[in-house]
Amino acid sequence: MCGIVGYVGTGSAKEMLLAGLSALEYRGYDSAGIALVRKGKLLVRKESGKLRALEAKVTGSDFDSRLGIGHTRWATHGAPTRENAHPHVSGDGRVAIVHNGIIENFMELKEELILEHGVAFASETDSEVIAHLVSLYYEGDLVEAVRRAAKRMRGAYAACVVAADDPGKIVAIRKDAPLIAGMCEEGGLLASDIPALLKYTRDIYLIENNEIVVITKQDVEIYDEERTRMNRARTHIDWDVAAAEKGGYEHFMLKEIYEQPKGVRETLAHRLDESGAIQLDDLGFTKEWADKLERIYIVACGTACHAGMVGKAMIEKYAKIPCETCLSSEFRYSDPIVNERTLCICISQSGETSDTLEALREAKRRGAEALSIVNVVGSSVARASDHVFYTWAGPEIAVASTKAYTTQLVSLYLIALYLGLLRGRATEAEAGALLAQLAEVPALIEDVLGREDSIRALARQHYKKEKIFYAGRGTDVATAEEASLKLKEISYINSYSIAAGELKHGTIALITRDVLFFALATQTKLYDKMLSNIEEMKARQAQVVAVAKASDARVAEVADDTFFIPDCSDEVAPIVAIVMFQLFAYHVAKFRGREIDQPRNLAKSVTVE
Ligand code: F6R
């Protein structure tokens, strides 16, 4: 996803924009640029590569300006070249824009602009059409021009627009891509993400879909698409810049792995009252409604979907409601069986994932009640849902998700239990037992973190392997999937995950002596079956590392190596075991010299389909 910033005020626009963009660097980008309005002219500089390259090009008093927009681009349409970098400028050089998202009908608009208006395009991007459209409609009123341009655009966008002839304001629009605004002593600010503004203000305006926002040095004005002024309360952000900094850790990912005990503790603390009972009353679920529920769909992408796989098991176990976990990208096109007796649970760290947002809308269109489990306060998924359960992971910056996952798991356990109690399908004793286990989880995670040295040693031993398998049964399948995703996304190793019972139906053909095979054996009722799977792998000469509970005396006799997680119940084992695999992936990637926080081809939130 691209990062966008805008500033107008009394300070140096260049400094403010570069500071905002550098706060968004963690999200990954391949080119950057700024447009400043100075002495009635637009001054645009853009460079491919890192911000440093851009900074070097904007030194000196020529770039002294009080108003501008900036962008870090993640290439979608067109290569990451300087031409394709934002800002994009209209043919007469009077209008500049930055854009995050996708203009789906850009081909059609481009054709019209070329054929009917003789516009010459300077880039291969879809975004450039915005600059030309706004310029075409500009007749002295920038807000109106942007409004008219937006009416022609289909797709997802957050875009900021400046005009050399209107040097006091920045106009921005939003549809299905994040956009926030704020005021600080030095003026008005716009950005795609909170960290860009945190240095200047903690009170932000969340811009809604189809709204237009105008910032000047004194004010933030928000309008709906018919240009009616909207009142918007500010949202206070209570985490600080330090939470979005590395705090002495070499990488954000490692810091975030270590923040998991805290994230789990906070997620529990926000949802348990003084007597230790689950507090989800604010969600407004009634017994009558819960009793009538026929089906739950969990929809999510990637890591969040793996959390959903465990969530399904917990919902069926405690609430006794049939539950299906679907990839958002499949769900939205699958003609799902949804009605008013369906609950759709959307899980998303960023709350901006386009597929998940659309899946949620589809479920709602079909009558479902929508509950989201989200980390980013005020994000699009949160706002589109009927009910929100916030995870208290704090900002997650590394592309590879870690603390969001474990807090999503804890959230799902609480929701499963709450629904079970509401429906009278879970007993107080069951609830008490699971809550007691959850209370132990932070300490159990700390135990695994305390064994980082041995995990690093395991990583050192295996980091050159090219084929790594993860297998398990029951909820260990979800852990295997997540462990494998962590490894492949940051180390680029070809890694596979599979339900162990499926191995013999085909995949076993890939097992040879050069395979490293992680066998998860944390689920008691499937334990013996897992031992047989280990034997099968050994017979094919794979190197087997078992992951089992500390008091397991048998597994070490069959596996080549064993990593023990502390003794815990089968239910909470997924939250504990994954921490070992996160650290393993981290150290393998480090031994391989990878860019851990910003792996190639990946962005922190995926706002395009
Ligand atoms: C993997 C990872 C992704 C995300 C996925 C969904 O480490 O981070 O698989 O989990 O893109 O993102 P959110 O949760 O923001 O919807």
pLDDT in tens, 266-321: 999 999 988 889 999 889 899 999 999 999 999 999 999 999 999 999 999 999 99
575 and 509 belong to one structural domain: yes
Ligand 1 within 6 A of 598 CB? Answer: no
For ligand 1, say whether the CB of 304 is within 6 Å of any of its atoms: yes
Strands (E), 201-267: 203-206, 212-215, 220-223, 229-230, 235-236
CATH number of the domain where residue 267 is located: 3.40.50.10490
Does some domain include residue 599?
no
For residue 241, the model assigns a pLDDT of: 66
Indicate whether 443 and 456 sit together in one domain.
no
Radius of gyration of the chain (CA): 26
When divided into structural domains, the chain yields a total of: 3
| Co-location of 404 and 553 in the same domain | no
Residue nearest to atom 7 of ligand 1 (CA): 400
**Do residues 396 and 326 share a domain?**
yes
| Pair 235, 254 in one domain | no
Give the pLDDT confidence score for residue 76 in this predicted structure: 67
Task: Find the domain containing 323 and state its range.
Answer: 246-449
| pLDDT range class, residue 1, cuts 50, 70, 90 | low
Residue 480 falls within a domain, yes or no? yes
Q: Which atom of ligand 1 is nearest to the CA of 353?
A: 16
- DSSP, res 315: I
Nearest CA to ligand 1 atom 5: 302
Backbone φ and ψ of 316, nearest 5°:
-70, -35
Q: Do 534 and 546 touch, CB atoms closer than 8 A? A: yes
Of the three residues 193, 225, 243, the one that is the final residue of a domain is 243
Is 606 near ligand 1, meaning CB less than 6 Å away?
yes
Domain boundary among 243, 277, 303: 243
Confirm whether 609 is domain-assigned: no
Number of the ligand 1 atom closest to the C-alpha atom of 376:
15
Contacts of 234 (CB under 8 A, 6+ apart): 182, 203, 204, 205
Which active-site residues does the annotation give?
A: 2, 604
Question: 603 lies in a domain?
Answer: no
Average per-residue pLDDT for the chain: 94
**Same domain as 511, residue 387:** no
- Between the two ends of the chain, the Cα-to-Cα distance in Å is 11
* Percent of all residues in the chain with a pLDDT value above 70, rounded to a whole number: 97
Task: Residue 157: name the closest of 102, 207, 90, 110 by CA.
Answer: 102
Q: Are residues 476 and 536 in the same domain?
A: yes
Q: With both helix axes pointing from N to C terminus, report the angle between 260-269 and 428-449 in degrees, rounded to the nearest 10.
A: 160
531-540 burial string, b = 16+ CB within 10 Å, else e? bebbebbbeb
State the Cα–Cα distance between residues 565 and 525, nearest whole angstrom: 18
**What pTM, to 2 d.p., does this model score?**
0.79
Q: Does residue 375 belong to any structural domain of this protein?
A: yes
* Ligand 1 atom nearest to CA at 381: 16
Percent over 90 (pLDDT), the chain: 84
* Distance from Cα 400 to the centre of ligand 1, integer Å: 8
User: Is the same domain home to 437 and 514?
Assistant: no
Specify the CATH number for the domain of residue 109.
3.60.20.10
H, E, C per residue of 518-583: EEEECCHHHHHHHHHHHHHHHHCCCEEEEEEECCCCCHHHHCCEEEEECCCCCCCHHHHHHHHHHH
pLDDT-based confidence at residue 260 (cuts at 50, 70, 90) = very high
Q: How many whole angstroms separate alpha carbon 288 and alpha carbon 340?
A: 13
Mutate which of 356, 606, 607 for ligand 1? The one with the most ligand atoms within 8 Å of its CB, which is: 606
127 lines ligand 1 (CB under 6 A): no
What's the pLDDT score for residue 257?
Answer: 97
**pLDDT value at residue 367:** 97
pLDDT-based confidence at 473, cuts 50/70/90? Answer: very high
246 falls in which pLDDT band (50, 70, 90)? Answer: confident
Ligand 1 centroid to residue 304 C-alpha, Å: 6
- Compute, in angstroms, the gap from residue 350 CA to the centroid of ligand 1: 8
Regarding the beta carbon of 328 and ligand 1, being less than 6 Å apart is answered no
Residue 456 and residue 413 in one domain? no
Question: Could you tell me which residues come within 8 angstroms of residue 129 by beta carbon, excluding any fewer than 6 positions away?
Answer: 103, 106, 109, 110, 113, 153
Q: How long a stretch of residues is the chain?
A: 609
In a domain, 597, yes or no: no
Q: Are residues 172 and 237 in the same domain?
A: yes
Distance of CA 308 from the midpoint of ligand 1 (Å): 12
Q: Does residue 236 sit in the same domain as residue 256?
A: no
Q: Listing from the earlier edge strand, what are the strands of the sheet with 95-103?
A: 88-89, 95-103, 155-163, 170-175, 212-215, 220-223, 229-230
548 found inside a domain: yes
In the reported structure, the alpha carbon of residue 96 is separated from the centroid of ligand 1 by a whole-number distance in angstroms of 32
What tens digit of pLDDT does each residue of 74-90 get?
776 677 888 999 999 99
In a domain, 444, yes or no: yes
pLDDT of residue 225: 92
Domain boundary, last residue among 434, 449, 464 = 449
On whether both 428 and 554 belong to a single domain, the answer is no
